[in-house]
Amino acid sequence: MAQPDPIEEARRQWVAHGWGAAADGMAMVTSLTRVQQLVTERIDAVLRPLDLTFARYEVLRLLAFTRAGSMPMTRLGSLLQVHPTSVSSAVARLEAQGLVERQRDADDRRVVRATLTARGREVVEAATDGLNREVFEAPGLDADDVATLTGLLRDYRRRAGDLPD
């Protein structure tokens, strides 16, 4: 016997309760939440054996893109679009794992930099290989749909003030 999609079923309930103006938005938000869970499961399957979360992976990846493997903490926060305390806690954990070191900038002692260790470099490349192969090269939709979805998410971000001017 066919079960209904729980999100479609919720949408029907919304309409039946007189909340029709909110039904499509509810379905969009709930679908986003659900797909994010499914994507996170795939990412965690790659990163968990390396003892990384996606947030900590992103820190390592940004550092590895720089020439010196190093970046001020404030710059990391700006690129990751997260609160400074989130960056601090991610970097503190990476430091405890021996993947990153923090030190004050030699030229400007007010600036704290995060720098990849040799081990951090190995781990971020292994993580990137795994994510590319297991997730990003097979993102779960056809190429056209990947582009359309990313474009709509970009529209959402732009309208939410999330994109630089």
Binding site for a second copy (CB under 8 A): 2-7, 9-10, 13, 19, 21-29, 31-39, 43, 54, 61, 65, 79-81, 128, 131-132, 135-141, 143, 145-150, 152-157, 159-160, 162-165
56 neighbors 37 (Cβ within 8 angstroms): no
128 neighbors 61 (Cβ within 8 angstroms): yes
How far apart are CB 112 and a second copy at their closest, in Å?
Answer: 20
How far apart are CB 139 and a second copy at their closest, in Å?
Answer: 3
How far are the Cα atoms of 46, 54, 90 from residue 60, in angstroms, in the given order?
Answer: 15, 10, 10
How far are the Cα atoms of 55, 84, 120, 123, 163 from residue 52, in angstroms, in the given order?
Answer: 8, 19, 11, 9, 27
How far apart are CB 2 and a second copy at their closest, in Å?
Answer: 6
How far apart are CB 98 and a second copy at their closest, in Å?
Answer: 24
Nearer to a second copy, 85 or 96 (CB): 85
